[in-house]
Amino acid sequence: MLKIYRVLGEKGRITIPYEIRQRIGFRYNDVLSFTELDDGSVVVRKEKICDNCNEFAEEFEENYTLEDFLDSLSEEEQRDALLHLSLLWAEKFK
Query: CA 78, CA 67: separation in Å to the nearest integer?
Result: 10
Domains along the sequence of the chain with CATH: 1-47 (2.10.260.10), 48-94 (no CATH)
pLDDT digits (tens, 9 = 90+) for 22-52: 988 888 878 888 899 999 999 988 887 766 6
Query: CA 12, CA 80: separation in Å to the nearest integer?
Result: 23
Q: For 66, how many CA atoms within 13 A lie in the half-sphere containing its CB?
A: 4
pTM for the whole structure:
0.50
pLDDT digits (tens, 9 = 90+) for 54-73: 555 555 555 667 777 788 88
Residue 55, phi then psi, degrees to nearest 5: -65, -35
CA angle at residue 73 from 91 to 49, to 5 degrees? 40
